[in-house]
């Protein structure tokens, strides 16, 4: 990768993190298409590069949430217990079962399209009765485990799915955002380490692009801190609709590319 790609990655990481951090998303789910389409990152190296972004980017937001006293709690521990083992399984699946770009683009589309539609629907017509009942710990754990597997394949750490899902079930973003980001941070460390180990024996581009991942992460570090700082001042409904619409648009693009 050239220095121009690193600069572009830094700018993309910063801008994306500013808007995604307030809803508990590191931004990796939206940074990945930039790396795949604009920067031409090879597969499966793009996944650990995205995980590296999470490792570098999320501490800024976590530091801000910790200052506000929002970081620690049972939800954080529950999400971490589920996503950590899941991301290792996802890394193995990604390297040995779905290493090609064609299948990977289809997986991106299948993941983002229902997530975007669901997020927009929940935002426009929020459930009134379900919001009064928090999801059970078992449901949250199983969801975190499944999301960890998907996150290991996709390189998102899992918070980008857990955050919108739990918020849609009625949990407040003040509770969900720090827990989802903490889960993303720790899961990404484990996932990146798993890919590093797999790269020792697996063929192809498995190791992350360290330069690009670090530059994207530095941008996300700054953007994440700013996003967490701005969370109380940003309109939550508009942010959710923006994330949902962007997810739908990206899914349609990748669906078209995977079918051509």
Give CA–CA dist 194/84, Å, rounded: 11
Structure tokens at 187: 């899961």
The number of beta carbons lying within 10 Å of the beta carbon of residue 104 is: 23
Give CA–CA dist 120/109, Å, rounded: 16
Give CA–CA dist 219/26, Å, rounded: 11
Residue 61: exposure state from Cβ atoms within 10 A (0-12, 13-18, ≥19): buried
For 40, 93, 103, 119, 202, the CA distances from 97, given in Å and listed in that order, are: 21, 5, 10, 29, 12
Give CA–CA dist 209/43, Å, rounded: 11
Which of these, 179, 197, 201, 178, lies nearest to 189 by C-alpha position? 197
Which of these, 199, 243, 205, 181, lies nearest to 16 by C-alpha position? 243
User: What's the confidence (pLDDT) of residue 39?
Assistant: 77
Residue 89: exposure state from Cβ atoms within 10 A (0-12, 13-18, ≥19): middle
Running DSSP on this structure, what letter comes out for residue 60? Answer: H
Structure tokens at 162: 């857990």
Residue 177: its H or E element: helix 173-198
DSSP E strands in the chain: the ranges are none
Give CA–CA dist 73/225, Å, rounded: 20
Compute mean pLDDT per 10 residues along the chain, 260 residues long, and list them. 81 87 76 76 75 86 78 84 87 73 72 82 66 74 88 70 72 80 86 78 69 88 86 75 79 76
Give CA–CA dist 189/2, Å, rounded: 25
For the chain, the domains span: 3-259
The number of beta carbons lying within 10 Å of the beta carbon of residue 72 is: 13
Q: What Rg value do the Cα atoms of the chain yield, rounded? A: 17
User: What's the confidence (pLDDT) of residue 96?
Assistant: 76
User: What's the confidence (pLDDT) of residue 6?
Assistant: 84
Which of these, 98, 102, 110, lies nearest to 44 by C-alpha position? 98
User: What's the confidence (pLDDT) of residue 218?
Assistant: 92
User: What's the confidence (pLDDT) of residue 235?
Assistant: 77
The position carrying tokens 């941070």 is 185
User: What's the confidence (pLDDT) of residue 93?
Assistant: 83
The number of beta carbons lying within 10 Å of the beta carbon of residue 158 is: 36
This prediction has a pTM of: 0.74
Residue 170: its H or E element: none
């Amino acid at each position: 990768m050239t220095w121009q790609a690193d600069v572009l990655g830094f700018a993309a990481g910063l801008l994306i993190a500013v808007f995604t951090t307030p809803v508990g998303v590191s931004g990796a789910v939206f940074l990945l298409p930039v790396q795949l389409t604009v920067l031409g990152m090879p597969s499966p190296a793009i996944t650990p590069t995205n995980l590296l972004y999470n490792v570098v980017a999320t501490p800024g937001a976590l530091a801000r949430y910790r200052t506000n006293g929002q970081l620690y709690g049972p939800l954080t521990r529950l999400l971490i217990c589920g996503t950590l083992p899941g991301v290792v399984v996802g890394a193995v699946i990604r390297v040995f079962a779905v290493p090609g770009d064609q299948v990977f683009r289809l997986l991106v589309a299948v993941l983002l399209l229902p997530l975007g539609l669901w997020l927009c629907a929940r935002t426009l017509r929020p459930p009134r009765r379900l919001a009064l009942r928090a999801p059970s710990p078992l449901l949250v754990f199983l969801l975190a485990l499944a999301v960890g597997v998907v996150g290991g394949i996709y390189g998102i750490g899992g918070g980008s799915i857990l955050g919108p899902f739990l918020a849609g079930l009625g949990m407040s973003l003040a509770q969900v955002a720090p827990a989802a980001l903490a889960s993303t941070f720790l899961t990404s460390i484990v996932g990146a380490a798993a890919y590093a180990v797999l790269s020792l024996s697996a063929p192809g581009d498995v190791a992350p692009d360290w330069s690009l991942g670090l530059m994207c992460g530095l941008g996300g570090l700054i953007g994440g801190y700013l996003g967490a700082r701005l969370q109380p001042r940003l309109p939550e409904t508009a942010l959710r609709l923006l994330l949902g619409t962007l997810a739908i648009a990206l899914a349609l693009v990748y669906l078209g590319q995977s079918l051509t």
